[in-house]
Structure 1
Amino acid sequence: MEFYRFDKETGRRISKYDSDFLMSQIIQTTQGAHIGCMYLEADGIIGYHQAVSPQILLIIAGEGEVRGGDNEYFQVKAGDAVFWQKDEWHETKTTNGLTGIVIESEGMKPSSFMTGSLNIPRSCD
């Protein structure tokens, strides 16, 4: 399990074509991708299972907890991204609600595009 950030603070200012905005790069795939939006309501859970392909979860609203195969939970919030390798066991849950975008594709390497890798994940007590 790897942690990244894609919040405003990790963005790069774009001014080309008279533009004025920030962009945080996320991923480039070399193969087809499945992209979905998941809405977890209060006390929602994406149950403990193995990833069928490499996948990255982008938290866009709310907060929750994730765990990998070691059963240690880590807090995540809007602007955080979590990457799991193919076959890696994982789970996502929330108390108050969470919205996330998931991208699943072979050959993804988020460290090539995403900045602000979290140095120390926020472990849940």
Structure 2
Amino acid sequence: MEFYKFDKESGKQISKFNSNFIMSRIIQTNKITNIGCMHLDRKGIVGYHQAVGPQLLLILNGEGYVRNEKEEYFKVEAGDAVFWGNDEWHETKTDVGLTAIVIESEELNPASFMPLKNH
């Protein structure tokens, strides 16, 4: 399990085409990629299971806790990204609710675009 940041501070200013915004790059793929949005209400949980492929969880709002095969939970909040490798056991849960984007693809390499988060 690896932790990354995609918050505003990890992005870059874009001014091309008379633009004025911050872009936090996340991932680039050439192979089939599945992207979904998860909505966990209060006390929501994505039960402990094995990843069917590399998976990137991007916390958009709210907060929660994640773990891998170890019993230790790590707090995550908006702007955090969690990466689990192929076949890695993991779980996500929240007390207050959270919304997250999930990206699944054989060729995910989040370190190419996002800075690691110190945990």
1:44 aligns with 44
2:26 aligns with 26
Whole-Å separation in 2 of the counterparts to 1:18 and 1:30: 29
Name the count of aligned residue pairs.
119
SS of 2:48's partner is strand
1:97 aligns with 97
Q: Contact 1:30 / 1:108 at 8 angstroms: preserved in 2?
A: no
Q: Contact 1:40 / 1:97 at 8 angstroms: preserved in 2?
A: yes
Is there any run of 5+ residues in structure 2 with no aligned partner, and where? none
Asked if 1:16 corresponds to 2:16, the answer is: yes
SS of 1:104's partner is strand
Whole-Å separation in 1 of the counterparts to 2:37 and 2:56: 12
For residues 25-78 of structure 1, give each alpha carbon's deviation from its aligned partner in whole angstroms, at most 9, with x where no partner exists: 000113110000000000000000000010000000100000011121000000
Whole-Å separation in 1 of the counterparts to 2:41 and 2:112: 32
Say what the alpha-carbon RMSD is for the aligned residues. 0.6
SS of 2:64's partner is strand
SS of 1:60's partner is strand
1:118 aligns with 117
* Shift, 1:19, TM fit: 0.3
TM-score by length of 2: 0.98
Is there any run of 5+ residues in structure 1 with no aligned partner, and where? none
TM-score by length of 1: 0.93
1:72 aligns with 72
Whole-Å separation in 2 of the counterparts to 1:48 and 1:21: 38
> Percent of aligned positions with the same letter in both sequences?
64
Whole-Å separation in 1 of the counterparts to 2:29 and 2:70: 28
